[in-house]
């Protein structure tokens, strides 16, 4: 019953107390911001371009200890009249005159008040920033040529803006431990650390593993792990992203490439069903790292280490780089057109019901849609994907290990549960009723399918569209070299039912094709001709045919995705974040 | 547009005849020929047997090369700034970590491969200028094409 539901939703919205807005003067102009906003966020709202006051220790998703002092700004309030004196009269807009405080305040831990004034520039503010920078740089080593953070380092950026060209410090710099292993994936350089404590707060507040802390005092303070413990939780690499300097660096990305060479592509992680928003960072098509992208409906600002390492699948030793046809028991390299014609000629022989398709939950919506069309052309009844399950954690990692199970449910499996038809396929092959199998992106000897190499050899026809050489690829009569998710564009639906876009980023080697193009060519060759040349056209066609996607296009999904299906899944990490926000720990 | 009227110069009879001018030219040519025959003047340098290397200016920019420091360690730490600045993109660097047991382990980073595509190099000297470690210099080599043994 949709009508009453919307009615209650509206009622709930009305009941919600309206957020009280206060007038704040920021850099000379008056703005309305919600009461209780931190000054640093108020400045961000006022500027409207995403920028705010320079800062190191502040992070909107963490508590504010206010220890870096970089965000100092000048603050003012209406003056309190002397006893017996008349209070100043408000101006035409109702604003009182502001009396500026002679000393600066930190913008990250102070909240706005009515009629408050904030100055983010001016003589005093510039001067304190220069002072803070000079202190921070006293003991900072001149490591920039070998530091992985160079190019995305806040200290570098702000020292260009507020630093002195030369140092006035004549004493010897404090020596601290360098190149320390603090965990299996992270290296620490204590000399570079500016004591912002972001990594400590992340581990304590978000990853719930309080392993980091400061020891010793004054200029000899160092970041260290608790004795006998290490920074090894599955979210540890977020501390590397958080680190405003190069103190924490990733072992995986260490010295691989300078960041200014990397091209960033917005995409979605395919390590599990969560679909964390990521940036695929690649140089000349070679993917070198994955970093999280903020999406407050999916992954906040974080992603797990498991997901970050998924790009190593691109480095498999026996990657398929050519399409192949088996002639006389040996695979011969063929062009895509040749292989498609060869496969279609062989497939036309089979009667309806003799062909089964094993697709993958790692395929994009577009590929799954084409798989359904291919099944219709071949009149194949048995079409399924391989379900993958693992133990979920209490943060982001989802139990469903296929990135697009929801897409497969919507576009391919219909009402049957994914994986339900695999047993039937297995039995059909054993009984000889199924004579041809199309394996799309999956290894058929996987235990969840349960086929052996002999079963595959007994088939009259086997087509494999995949990325890696394996038993199925070896047995296939026609072999198409496909792409990994990091190399293709498309859309997927995550476990919470959110439709999101993959942006590619990597470039597939050799003659590897986009999987959807192979499927399109096969359908066209088998008689279901169509004139689709662009992924956008394919999505539009899919949107016309599938009622859930009505009116959508690849462009309309947007970089942050959109809610499509109501599933019972929720994101534990976001729940915890909302709890922290409700308790006032974070703004 | 302003026009300037130029008067033709008035030529004397000798000039109109051209003959004195021709004879003057012939005399100069003859003078050079005689001095060469007497071995008093060289006109052609017999490159590559003869070279002008001693006279190359201090700022001459030839082929770039990596240098070592006073301990014999290659100075380059593969910061890749030269790769970034290089206008014809002639430089390709593959960085690597210096292993922990190496005597220079504290330097942490070194090039695993440092390639300069000399077909692309335009000898601009930007790499030398940008290098924070003073590890790359343009030598005075100008004859760097390979010769048959």
Is residue B55 exposed (0-12), middle (13-18) or buried (19+ Cβ within 10 Å)? exposed
**pLDDT surpasses 60 at A323:** yes
Q: How many domains does chain B have?
A: 2
Of B83, B84, B109, the CB nearest to A146: B109
Interchain CB contact of A146 with B (< 8 Å):
yes
Whether residue A272 has pLDDT greater than 60: yes
Q: Check whether residue B64 and residue B35 sit in a common domain.
A: no
Query: Are B74 and B21 members of one domain?
Result: no
Query: How far is residue B17's CA from residue A463's CA, in Å, rounded to a whole number?
Result: 95
Residue B77 domain-assigned (yes or no):
yes
pLDDT tens digit sequence for A189-239: 999 999 999 999 999 999 999 999 999 999 999 999 999 999 999 999 999
Q: Which of A329, A370, A325 is nearest to A345 (CA)?
A: A325
| pLDDT for A356 | 95
Average pLDDT of chain A is: 92
What is the spatial distance between Cα A71 and Cα A566, in angstroms, rounded to a whole number?
Answer: 42
Q: With CB atoms and an 8 Å threshold, state whether B109 touches A178.
A: no
Within a domain: residue B51?
Answer: no
* Ramachandran area for residue B141 (φ above 0: left; ψ -120 to 50: alpha; else beta): beta
User: Which residues, in sequence order, are bridge partners of residue A280?
Assistant: A265, A290
Decide if A276 contacts A292 (C-beta within 8 A).
Answer: yes
d(CA B30, CA B34): 6
Question: Roughly what angle, to the nearest 10 degrees, separates helices A535-545 and A515-525?
Answer: 70
B31 located within any domain? yes
Beta-carbon contacts of A282 under 8 Å, excluding residues fewer than 6 positions away, are A262, A263, A265, A288, A505, A506, A507
Q: What are phi and psi of A567, to 5 degrees?
A: -115, 165
d(CA A435, CA A456): 10
Which are the contacts of A543, defined by CB distance < 8 A and separation ≥ 6?
A549, A550, A551, A552, A553
Strand partners, A325: A332, A478
Q: Would the pLDDT of A334 be above 50?
A: yes
pLDDT at B148: 66
| CATH class, range A165-315 | alpha beta
Of A104 and A415, more confident:
A104
Secondary structure element (H or E) that encloses residue A128, with its range: helix A123-138
Q: Is the Cβ of A284 closer than 8 Å to some Cβ of chain B? A: no
User: Kindly report the CA angle at A533 between A528 and A539, in degrees rounded to 5?
Assistant: 80
DSSP summary character for residue A409: I
**pLDDT of A146-196, one tens digit each?**
999 999 999 999 999 999 888 899 999 999 999 999 999 999 999 999 999
**Which region among A123-127, A416-420, B83-87 has the lowest average model confidence (pLDDT)?**
A416-420
Q: What is the 3-state secondary structure (H, E, C) of A364-378?
A: CHHHHHHHHHHHHHH
Q: Which residues in chain B are closer than 8 Å to A141, comparing Cβ atoms? A: none
Query: Which residues from chain A sit within 8 angstroms of residue B133, using beta carbons?
Result: 145
Mark whether B65 and B129 lie in a shared domain. yes
**B104 contact residues in A (CB cutoff 8 A):** none
**pLDDT the model gives residue A1:** 35
Contacts of A151 in chain B (CB under 8 A): none
- The CATH number of whichever domain residue B119 belongs to comes to 3.30.70.3270
pLDDT of residue A2: 40
Q: What is the ipTM of this complex?
A: 0.83
**Residue B5 resides in a domain:** no
- Looking at the structure, tell me whether residues B114 and B92 fall in a common domain: yes
Residue A8 has pLDDT above 50, yes or no: no
Residue A284 clears pLDDT 70, i.e. is over it: yes
Q: Are residues B98 and B129 in the same domain?
A: yes
Work out the average pLDDT over A539-546: 94
Decide if pLDDT at A462 tops 50: yes
Whether B80 and B123 share a structural domain:
yes
CB distance from B95 to chain A under 8 Å? yes
Does the structure show a pLDDT above 50 at A343?
A: yes
Q: What average pLDDT does chain B have?
A: 91
Residue numbers of the domain that contains B36: 15-44
Q: What is the pLDDT of residue A406?
A: 95
Q: What is the pTM of this model?
A: 0.87
Contacts of A254 in chain B (CB under 8 A): 97
CATH architecture of A323-563: 3-Layer(aba) Sandwich (3.40)
Q: How many whole angstroms separate alpha carbon B23 and alpha carbon B33?
A: 15
Chain B residue numbers touching A146 (CB-CB < 8 A)? 77, 79, 107-109
How many residues can be counted in chain A? 587
**Contact between chains at A255 and B133 (C-beta distance less than 8 A):** no
> What does DSSP assign to residue A276?
-
A321 touches chain B (CB under 8 A): no
Distance CA A17, CA A345 (A): 67
pLDDT at residue B59 above 60? yes
Contact status of A180 with chain B (Cβ, < 8 Å): no
Residue numbers of A between 234 and 263 with CB closer than 8 Å to B: 254-258, 260-261
What value does the mean pLDDT take over residues A546-562? 94
In terms of DSSP H, where are the helices of A414-553?
422-431, 453-458, 471-475, 515-525, 535-545
Q: Return residue ranges of chain A for CATH 3.30.70.20.
A: 165-315
Q: Which one of B91, B108, B131 would you mutate to disrupt binding with A, by most A Cβ within 10 Å of its Cβ?
A: B108
Q: Does A175 touch chain B (CB under 8 A)?
A: no
Question: Does residue B78 sit at the A interface (CB-CB below 8 Å)?
Answer: yes
Question: Contact B107/A146, CB-based, under 8 Å?
Answer: yes
Of A7 and A384, which is predicted with more confidence?
Answer: A384
Does B25 lie in the same domain as B69?
no
CATH topology of domain A24-81+91-121: Ubiquitin-like (UB roll) (3.10.20)
Q: Provide the percentage of residues in chain A whose pLDDT is more than 70.
A: 97
pLDDT band at A81 (very low <50, low <70, confident <90, very high): confident
Q: Is the pLDDT of residue A441 over 70?
A: yes
- The answer to whether position B8 is within a domain reads no
Residue B70 lies inside a defined structural domain of this protein: yes
pLDDT above 90 (res A18): no
> Do B90 and B114 sit in the same domain of this protein?
yes
Instruction: Examine residue B107 and state whether it is found in any structural domain, yes or no.
Output: yes
A416: confidence class by pLDDT, cuts 50, 70, 90: confident
**Start-end of CATH 3.40.50.740 domains in chain A:** 323-563
Please report whether residue B39 resides in a domain: yes
In this model, does residue B84 exceed pLDDT 60? yes
- What is the predicted pLDDT for the residue at B55? 86
CA distance A59 to A287: 28
> Are B40 and B66 found together in one domain?
no
The values of phi and psi at residue A231, to 5°, are -80, 85
CA–CA min distance A104, chain B (Å): 37
Tokens of A225: 């792990």
Q: Is the pLDDT of residue A15 over 60?
A: no
Supply the pLDDT for residue A13.
47
Q: Quickly state the pLDDT bin for A541 (edges 50, 70, 90).
A: very high
Q: With CB atoms and an 8 Å threshold, state whether B79 touches A146.
A: yes
* Same domain (yes/no): B62, B117: yes
Q: What percent of chain A has pLDDT above 90?
A: 86
pLDDT of residue A17: 60
Query: Would you state the pLDDT for residue A460?
Result: 94
User: So what's the pLDDT on residue A11?
Assistant: 45
For residue B97, give the nearest of A254, A258, A260 by CB distance: A254
Q: Which residue of B has its CA nearest to A261?
A: B84
Question: d(Cα B109, Cα B74) in Å, to the nearest integer?
Answer: 11
Contact map slice: B 105-134 vs A, CB within 8 A: 105-109, 132-133
Q: How far is B137 from chain A (nearest CA, A)?
A: 17
């Amino acid at each position: 019953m949709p009508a009453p539901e919307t009615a209650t939703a509206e009622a709930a919205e009305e009941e919600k107390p309206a957020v009280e807005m206060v007038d704040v003067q920021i850099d000379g102009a008056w703005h309305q911001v919600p009461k209780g906003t931190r000054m640093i966020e108020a400045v961000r709202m006022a500027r409207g371009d995403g920028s705010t006051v320079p800062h190191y220790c502040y992070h909107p998703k963490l508590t504010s200890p206010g220890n870096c002092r970089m965000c100092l700004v000048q603050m003012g309030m209406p003056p309190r009249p002397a006893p017996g004196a008349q209070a100043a009269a408000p101006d035409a807009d109702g604003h009182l005159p502001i009396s500026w405080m002679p000393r600066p305040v930190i913008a990250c831990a102070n909240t706005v008040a009515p009629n408050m004034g904030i100055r983010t520039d001016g003589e005093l503010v510039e001067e304190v920033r220069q002072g803070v920078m000079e202190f921070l740089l006293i003991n900072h080593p001149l490591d920039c040529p070998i530091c992985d953070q160079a190019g995305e380092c806040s200290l570098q950026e702000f020292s260009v803006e507020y630093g002195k060209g030369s140092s006035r410090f004549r004493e010897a710099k404090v020596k601290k431990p360098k190149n320390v292993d603090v965990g299996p994936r992270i290296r620490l350089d204590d000399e570079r650390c500016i004591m912002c404590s972001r990594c400590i707060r992340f581990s304590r507040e978000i990853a719930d593993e309080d392993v980091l802390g400061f020891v010793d005092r004054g200029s000899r303070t160092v970041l260290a792990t608790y004795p006998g413990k290490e920074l090894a939780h599955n979210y540890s690499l977020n501390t590397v992203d958080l680190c405003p300097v190069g103190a924490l660096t990733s072992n995986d990305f260490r010295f691989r490439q300078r960041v200014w060479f990397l091209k960033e592509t917005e995409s979605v992680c395919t390590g599990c069903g969560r679909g964390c928003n990521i940036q695929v960072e690649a140089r000349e098509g070679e993917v070198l790292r994955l970093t999280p992208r903020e999406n407050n409906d999916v992954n906040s600002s974080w992603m797990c280490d498991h997901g970050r390492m998924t790009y190593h699948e691109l480095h498999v030793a026996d990657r398929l780089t050519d399409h192949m046809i088996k002639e006389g028991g040996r695979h011969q390299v063929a062009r895509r057109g040749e292989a498609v014609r060869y496969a279609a000629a062989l497939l036309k022989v089979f009667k309806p019901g003799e062909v089964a398709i094993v697709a993958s939950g790692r395929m994009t919506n577009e590929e799954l849609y084409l798989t359904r069309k291919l099944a219709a052309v071949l009149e194949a009844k048995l079409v399924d994907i391989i379900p993958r399950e693992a133990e979920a954690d209490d943060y982001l990692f989802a139990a469903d290990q296929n990135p697009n199970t929801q897409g497969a449910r919507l576009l391919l499996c219909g009402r049957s549960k994914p994986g339900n038809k695999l047993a039937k396929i297995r039995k059909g092959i054993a009984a000889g009723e199924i004579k041809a199998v199309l394996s799309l992106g999956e290894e058929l000897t996987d235990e969840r399918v349960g086929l052996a190499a002999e079963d595959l050899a007994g088939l009259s026809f086997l087509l494999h569209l995949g990325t890696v050489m394996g038993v199925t690829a070896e047995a296939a009569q026609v072999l198409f070299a496909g792409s990994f998710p990091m190399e293709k564009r498309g859309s997927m639906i995550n476990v919470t039912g959110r439709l999101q876009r993959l942006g590619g980023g990597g470039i597939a080697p050799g003659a590897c094709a986009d999987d959807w193009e192979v499927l399109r060519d096969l359908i066209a060759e088998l008689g279901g001709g169509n004139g689709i040349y662009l992924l956008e056209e394919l999505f539009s066609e899919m949107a016309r045919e599938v009622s859930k996607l009505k009116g959508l296009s690849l462009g309309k999904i947007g970089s942050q995705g959109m809610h499509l299906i109501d599933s019972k899944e929720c994101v534990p990490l976001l729940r915890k974040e909302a709890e922290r926000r409700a308790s006032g720990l974070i703004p | 547009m302003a026009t300037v009227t130029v008067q033709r110069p008035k030529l004397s009879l000798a000039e109109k005849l051209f003959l004195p001018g021709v004879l003057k030219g012939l005399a100069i040519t003859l003078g050079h020929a005689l001095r060469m025959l007497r071995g008093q003047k060289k006109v052609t340098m017999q490159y590559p047997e003869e070279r002008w290397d001693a006279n190359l200016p201090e700022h001459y920019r030839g082929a770039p090369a990596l240098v070592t420091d006073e301990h014999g360690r290659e100075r380059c730490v593969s910061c890749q700034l030269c790769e970034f600045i290089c206008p014809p993109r002639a430089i390709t660097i593959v960085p690597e970590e210096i292993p922990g047991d190496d005597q220079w382990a504290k330097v942490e980073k070194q090039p695993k491969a440092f390639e300069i595509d000399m077909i692309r190099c335009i000898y601009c000297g930007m790499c030398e200028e940008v290098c924070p470690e003073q590890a790359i210099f343009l030598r005075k080599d100008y004859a760097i094409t390979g010769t048959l043994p």
